Amino acid sequence: MIIIMKMNTVQQNIEAVVSRVEKAGFRTHLSVGEERTIIGVIGDERKLDRGAISRMEGVDRVVPVLRPFKLASRDFQPEDSKISINGHVFGDKKVIVMAGPCSVESLEQMRETAVAVKEAGAHLLRGGAFKPRTSPYSFQGMGEEGLKILAQVREETGLHVITEVMAPEQVDLIAQYADVLQIGTRNMQNYALLNAVGQSNKPVLLKRGMMSTIEELLMSAEYIMSNGNHKVILCERGIRTFEKYTRNTLDINAVPVLKELTHLPVVVDPSHATGKWTLVKAASKAAVAAGADGLIIEVHPNPAEALSDGEQSLKPHRFVELMSEVRRVAEAVGRTI
Alpha carbons 22 and 231: distance in angstroms, whole number = 23
Alpha carbons 271 and 318: distance in angstroms, whole number = 13
Tell whether 191 is covered by a domain: yes
Which element (helix H / strand E) includes 153?
helix 144-157
Tell whether 54 is covered by a domain: yes
Tell whether 172 is covered by a domain: yes
The model's pLDDT over 194-227, given as tens digits with 9 standing for 90+, comes to: 999 999 999 999 999 999 999 999 999 999 999 9
Range of the domain at 27: 2-63
Say whether 255 sits in a helix, a strand or coil.
Answer: helix
Question: pLDDT at position 47, please?
Answer: 78
N-terminal to C-terminal alpha carbon distance within the chain: 37
Question: pLDDT at position 276, please?
Answer: 97
In which residue ranges of the chain is pLDDT below 50? Answer: none
Please answer whether residues 69 and 221 qualify as being in contact, where contact means their C-beta atoms are separated by less than 8 angstroms.
Answer: yes
Provide the edge-to-edge strand list for the sheet that holds 2-5.
27-32, 37-42, 2-5, 59-63
DSSP codes, 203-238: -EEEEPPTT--HHHHHHHHHHHHHTT---EEEEE--
Residues sharing a CB contact under 8 Å with residue 309, sequence separation 6 or more, in sequence order: 102, 103, 271, 272, 298
User: DSSP character for 247?
Assistant: S
CATH of the domain at 255: 3.20.20.70
Question: pLDDT at position 50, please?
Answer: 85
Quote the number of domains for the chain. Answer: 2
Question: pLDDT at position 279, please?
Answer: 98
Alpha carbons 327 and 337: distance in angstroms, whole number = 6
Residues 127 and 195 in one domain: yes
Residues 28 and 110 in one domain: no
Residues 21 and 117 in one domain: no
Residues 219 and 166 in one domain: yes
- pTM for this prediction: 0.89
Residues 56 and 88 in one domain: no
Question: pLDDT at position 2, please?
Answer: 86
Pick the closest to residue 232 from 33, 65, 81, 86 (CA basis). Answer: 81
Beta bridge partners of 207: 235
Question: pLDDT at position 76, please?
Answer: 85
- What are the start-end ranges of the E strands in the chain? 2-5, 27-32, 37-42, 59-63, 83-85, 88-90, 96-100, 124-126, 160-164, 180-183, 204-207, 232-236, 266-268, 294-298
Tell whether 72 is covered by a domain: no
Question: pLDDT at position 120, please?
Answer: 97
Alpha carbons 180 and 125: distance in angstroms, whole number = 10
Question: pLDDT at position 139, please?
Answer: 65
Please answer whether residues 217 and 208 qualify as being in contact, where contact means their C-beta atoms are separated by less than 8 angstroms.
Answer: yes
Residue 131 to residues 68, 167, 183, 223: CA-CA distances in angstroms? 32, 11, 11, 23
DSSP codes, 268-326: E-HHHHH-SHHHHHHHHHHHHHHT-SEEEEEB-S-GGG-SS-GGGPBPHHHHHHHHHHH
Tell whether 74 is covered by a domain: no
Pick the closest to residue 78 from 261, 319, 234, 201 (CA basis). Answer: 261
Tell whether 126 is covered by a domain: yes
Alpha carbons 2 and 36: distance in angstroms, whole number = 12
Residues 40 and 99 in one domain: no
Residues 159 and 17 in one domain: no
* Cα–Cα–Cα angle for 236, 242, 245, rounded to 5 degrees: 80
Residues 137 and 9 in one domain: no
Question: pLDDT at position 63, please?
Answer: 84
Q: What is the CA radius of gyration of the chain?
A: 21
Question: pLDDT at position 102, please?
Answer: 94
Residues 59 and 166 in one domain: no
Question: pLDDT at position 138, please?
Answer: 66
Last residue of a domain, one of 35, 63, 91: 63
